Amino acid sequence: MTKADIVNEIAKNTGIEKVTVQKTVEAFMESVKDSMVTGNNVYLRGFGSFIVKKRAKKTARNISKNTTIIIPAHNIPAFKPAKTFINKVKSHVKK
């Protein structure tokens, strides 16, 4: 499902114009991104959490050059679904 599909679905279900729904969806995504860039997590009860994971510094191998490289510590965005969301997906059997 794409962002356009989500906008169409919300517009169809709510009766709100697609342009308004699109601005709202984009504003939501921008808010989540801005919050995560500043190191804050976003919690949506019943849906899940957008969290910032911290990766430690590690040593890796470049196998094409047969050299060792150091990957510095860094942060990555992640999504952790709520338990109710996980259970709903697990219990849904596609026919």
Q: Which domain holds residue 35?
A: 3-91
CA distance 85 to 91: 10
**Residue 95's pLDDT is what?**
60
Given phi > 0 = left and psi -120 to 50 = alpha, else beta, which region is 52? beta
- CA 32 – CA 49 distance, rounded (Å): 10
CA distance 14 to 7: 11
Q: What pTM was computed for the model?
A: 0.77
The amino acid occupying position 13 is N
Domain count, the chain: 1
Q: CATH number for the domain including 77? A: 4.10.520.10
- Give mean pLDDT in consecutive 10-residue pieces for the chain, a chain of 95 residues: 95 96 96 95 96 95 91 95 93 74
* Alpha helices in the chain, H assignment, sequence order: 3-14, 18-37, 83-91
Say if CB 24 and CB 6 are below 8 A apart: no
Q: Kindly tell me the sign of the dihedral angle through the C-alpha atoms of 34, 38, 39, 44.
A: negative
